[in-house]
Amino acid sequence: MLPRLRTLRSVLVIALTTLSGGIVLSGPARAADPVDAAKALAAPGLPGANNWSCEPSAAHPRPVVLVHGTFANGTVNWLSDAPILASRGYCVFALTYGAKAGVPVLRAIGPVADSAAQLSIFIDGVLAATGAAQVDIVGHSQGGMMPRYYLKFLGGAGKVHTLVGLAPSNHGTTLNGLATLARSFPGAIDIVSAGCPACGDQVVGSSLLTRLNSGGDTVPGVSYTVIATRYDEVVTPYSTQFLSGGGVHNVTLQNLCAADISEHAAMAFDPVVLHETENALDPAHASTTNCFSHG
């Protein structure tokens, strides 16, 4: 294993273990106060994120909601990107979703439809707290696909301006791919088939994905960017991550930087990916993304 990937895996293991006591086991019911309901889902201890007093600026009028991937949580998934985006003037929010009763630590394993309902609660709270009309979403892996369920079936299209998916499972993966991902998370390999409804929802040809992609990949009014890597070993082939339809920008990481060997998990920690993400969030000030786009 390459040193960079070995280090990333160690960070994931340590962070998951450390944070296991600070994350709720189930999503809250929709409370009378939408901000309180959203706060109950907020990822704890994430630098730069979940400042409920943040006021969006004229330069960045839409809050950015970060949505983590399968087996991870909002804190570990966005340790790199959240503080950087906040330092650049964005109001940044991140949730942890998808717990399953009786399964400690691991998140984003509940049914995708239920997780999308939690995302709906969180976004309503973010909008209420900030006074913004819409949010932008940046999602990794399942977190890049699941928001599409929210957009299509839960009334989210009018509340979201841009969806950026990093290595998203838009058209599914295989159980082998999910097992590969699970090896990075202690205990995950044991629940891939039996205890992970979200895993079943993400398998190629699942009823959820069939319904989600029926009639087209996109909904009108939302801008979509998908950033994929040729070295993805989880959602394969990587081209299945791409979307078809209006308002879509599909990007292969190695077309931006041929030397970049980031695989699936590393996409949420890659500076070139972050630069392209910022271009999608603020296209009026976009700049060329390449191997030196680390500023």
Q: What is the pLDDT of residues 253-263, one digit of tens each?
A: 999 999 999 99
pTM: 0.90
157-186 mean pLDDT: 93
**pLDDT at residue number 189:** 84
Residues 6+ apart with CB under 8 A from 141: 68, 69, 70, 72, 166, 167, 168, 169, 181, 234, 235, 264
**pLDDT at residue number 86:** 98
Across the beta sheet with 223-228, what order do the strands follow?
Answer: 92-94, 64-67, 135-140, 160-166, 223-228, 248-252
128-138 mean pLDDT: 98
Q: Which of 36-50, 75-89, 119-133, 176-190 has the lowest mean pLDDT?
A: 176-190
Q: Give the domains, in start order, of the chain with CATH numbers.
A: 3-285 (3.40.50.1820)
Average pLDDT, the chain: 90
Q: Is the pLDDT of residue 62 over 60?
A: yes
**pLDDT at residue number 271:** 97
**pLDDT at residue number 75:** 98
**pLDDT at residue number 9:** 45
**pLDDT at residue number 88:** 97
d(CA 201, CA 196): 9
